[in-house]
Amino acid sequence: MIKPVKALFLILLITACSTTEKVTEKSPVYTEGEIENAALTDDSKVAEMLESYRPHYQAEMGIVLTEIENPLIFEKPEGALGNIAADALRFRASRESRRLVHIGVIGEGSFRINLNEGPLTLGEVYEFMPYENHLVLLKLTGEQVLTLANQIAEQGGSPVSGIRFQLQDNRARGVIVNSEVVTPTKEYWVATSNWVADGGDNFPVLWSPKERIDFDVSIRQLYVDHFRNRKMTEPFKDGRIRE
């Protein structure tokens, strides 16, 4: 009794399927595996369209700014690229404000690429710092500077300039600024980007400074200028944050 029912069902199913095939959809053209693999290959039409824009892109972005001697990379607690990134902020802020800027700080999260050995192009610097941010100076008390050092320590280190300390159990020990021990009641100037000052990269102490000065200096342009002024950029570490 059961067998005929099953057979009838199968016939219905087959008939229905074949009817559907003729009239509307075919069975899937690709397996799910083939679809996943498609994410490894370019669509030729879109790739061709993109390539048609590339010559002009290259002409504008392929300009060589400097030579990188050895790969520059972000590292924790201290990396050669982080040192350059934070130094450039502090030096420029000092020049713009005509005063002693004690500290430069920014998070690695603000950057997108490490820098390869060889010629460094304008396009790579724009990739390195992709967003339109500007230079900001913040006035902190010595006490806030010590908090900042600890917030940097909690992240296992970040790009810094003008400040030195040792990491111990996620805390900053022996904090030195401008070759001196930090005085809690003294005031210090800290250079960073508006993005960091407004909440990016997670240094909460920077969100309530004693004073804030915004400069009409694009951070990207700041880095372009910084690299352009060097024939050769060599990596260096000086133990500013050490374990």
Q: Which long-range contacts (CB under 8 A, 24 or more apart) does 178-181 make?
A: 178/100, 178/102
- Residue 146 beta carbon to other proteins: minimum distance, rounded to whole angstroms: 25
Using the minimum distance from each CB to other proteins, give the nearer residue, 12 or 64: 12
Question: Which residues are within 8 A (CB) of 5 and not within 5 positions of it... i.e. 6 or more apart?
Answer: none
- Residue 153 beta carbon to other proteins: minimum distance, rounded to whole angstroms: 21
Residues that bind other proteins (CB under 8 A): 9, 12-13, 15-16, 19-20, 23-25, 28-30, 34-43, 45-47, 49-50, 53, 56-57, 60-61, 71, 74, 108, 111-116, 122-123, 126-127, 130-132
- Tokens describing residue 95: 């020049």
Using the minimum distance from each CB to other proteins, give the nearer residue, 187 or 225: 225
- Residue 29 beta carbon to other proteins: minimum distance, rounded to whole angstroms: 4
Pairing relationship of beta strands 103-105 and 241-242 according to DSSP bridges: unpaired
Using the minimum distance from each CB to other proteins, give the nearer residue, 131 or 168: 131
Answer yes or no: are the C-beta atoms of 132 and 209 closer than 8 Å. no
Helix (H) or strand (E) holding 222: helix 219-228
- DSSP three-state, residue 12: helix
Using the minimum distance from each CB to other proteins, give the nearer residue, 214 or 243: 214
- Residue 8 beta carbon to other proteins: minimum distance, rounded to whole angstroms: 10
R_g (Cα) of the chain, nearest Å: 28
Categorise residue 242: left if φ over 0, alpha if ψ from -120 to 50, beta otherwise: beta
Using the minimum distance from each CB to other proteins, give the nearer residue, 21 or 234: 21
- Residue 13 beta carbon to other proteins: minimum distance, rounded to whole angstroms: 6
